[in-house]
């Protein structure tokens, strides 16, 4: 009898401690800055971050804005609101919404030209894991990598031309996890052997790194932001951060593919887009038109070579001969579809 009473007491104590760990008092939100050097005018250049922490549990790092002009801020706003107003999470989630002050300062009139470094022409996201003794990009990448590599799972947010949102992984063993998150198409890209993007550099130290292309460049599309936010919440569930059970989507729009089929402009001219992104086309349907500038009145109709889904358009109506105008995924290249 005494023993039964003792067991119950222990049980109650454990329960109480469990509840306390999800209390607002234990889940903290801390702001921090990372210095990445200084400008020629002498001002500090730094990055702002936000860390949500419960003390123990999985560590997730979510970053955006490596490339200037890639607006993913709405997704960070949704994550910030969710983690601030919800107590049922554990571990730590670090948010760095705009990671690169250098690329965001590369402005030409109204356009932020932040994919490539103006100094050496290299992609800002090919400098990882970085080097604190060498180029600006490598010094910046070193600061980012030191922070990101403290975590178990790194999610790097980008945008792509005019695009549907999709995930990029470079490890086949992550396919099932991405498909379980249930919302976004997943592209398995080939792994780089040098000049790594952040997720590949993270994979190389036996942690987990993925990219989410969150939609179109320089966009504030609330539907795409919501979709990416929900995909990230599902990844947080799968990785044990959210404690509201495995309430993953029952139906899914996710699919998995290994290659794009690209359509290059056969002549220079002005492009007319006919279909919305995500449209499924039959082989032989008109994909887009080019008004050829060397011959006023001549219009080329470019036809779909296969049954396909439109994933990306170039973010302009102006095409020089050979420009990649449209990227599609052929239905025959969809390896796995769920839902």
Residues that bind Zn ion (CB under 5 A): 67, 70, 158
H-helix or E-strand containing 199? helix 198-203
Q: Which is nearer to Zn ion, 70 or 142 (CB)?
A: 70
Q: State the nearest-atom distance from the C-beta of 294 to Zn ion, in Å.
A: 34
3-state secondary structure of 222: helix
Q: Which is nearer to Zn ion, 70 or 203 (CB)?
A: 70
Q: Which is nearer to Zn ion, 66 or 186 (CB)?
A: 66
Q: Which is nearer to Zn ion, 47 or 290 (CB)?
A: 47
Q: State the nearest-atom distance from the C-beta of 136 to Zn ion, in Å.
A: 18
Whole-number Å distance between alpha carbons of 197 and 217: 18
Whole-number Å distance between alpha carbons of 249 and 246: 9
Residue 121 φ/ψ region, left for φ over 0, alpha for ψ in the -120 to 50 degree band, beta for the rest: left
In which order are the strands placed within the sheet that holds 166-169?
Answer: 28-38, 44-53, 92-96, 59-63, 153-158, 208-213, 166-169, 186-188, 255-257, 334-337
Q: State the nearest-atom distance from the C-beta of 120 to Zn ion, in Å.
A: 17
Q: Which is nearer to Zn ion, 158 or 227 (CB)?
A: 158
Q: State the nearest-atom distance from the C-beta of 155 to Zn ion, in Å.
A: 13
Residue with nearest beta carbon to Zn ion: 158
Buried/exposed code over 292-315 (b: 16+ C-beta within 10 A; e: otherwise): beeeeeeeeebebeeebbbbbbbe
Q: State the nearest-atom distance from the C-beta of 166 to Zn ion, in Å.
A: 13
């Amino acid at each position: 009898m005494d023993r039964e009473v003792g067991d119950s007491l222990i049980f109650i104590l454990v329960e109480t401690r469990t509840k306390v760990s999800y209390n607002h008092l234990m889940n903290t939100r801390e702001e921090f800055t990372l210095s990445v050097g200084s400008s020629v005018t002498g001002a500090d250049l730094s990055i702002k971050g936000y860390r949500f922490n419960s003390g123990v549990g999985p560590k997730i790092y979510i970053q955006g804005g490596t490339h200037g002009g890639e607006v993913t801020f709405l997704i960070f706003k949704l994550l910030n609101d969710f983690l601030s107003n919800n107590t049922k999470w554990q571990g730590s989630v670090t948010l760095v919404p705009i990671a690169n002050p250098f690329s965001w300062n590369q402005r030409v009139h109204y356009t932020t030209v932040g994919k490539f470094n103006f100094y050496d022409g290299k992609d800002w996201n090919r400098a990882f894991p970085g080097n604190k003794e060498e180029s600006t990009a490598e010094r910046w990448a070193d600061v980012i990598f030191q922070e990101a590599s403290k975590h178990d799972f790194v999610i790097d947010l980008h945008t792509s031309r005019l695009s549907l949102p999709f995930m990029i992984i470079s490890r086949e063993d992550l396919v099932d996890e991405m498909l379980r998150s249930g919302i976004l198409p997943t592209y398995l890209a080939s792994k780089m052997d040098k000049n790594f993007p952040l997720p590949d550099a993270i994979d190389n130290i036996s942690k987990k790194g993925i990219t989410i292309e969150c939609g179109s460049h320089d966009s504030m599309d609330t539907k795409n932001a919501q979709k990416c936010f929900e995909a990230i919440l599902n990844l947080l569930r799968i990785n044990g951060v959210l404690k509201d059970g495995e309430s993953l989507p029952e139906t899914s729009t996710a699919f998995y593919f290994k290659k794009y089929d690209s359509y290059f402009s056969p002549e220079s001219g002005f492009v007319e887009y006919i279909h919305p992104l995500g449209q499924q086309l039959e082989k032989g349907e008109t994909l887009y038109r080019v008004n050829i500038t060397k011959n006023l009145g001549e219009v080329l109709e470019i036809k779909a070579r296969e049954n396909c889904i439109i994933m990306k358009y170039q973010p302009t109506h102006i095409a020089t001969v050979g420009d990649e105008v449209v990227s599609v995924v052929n239905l025959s290249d969809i390896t796995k579809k769920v839902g």
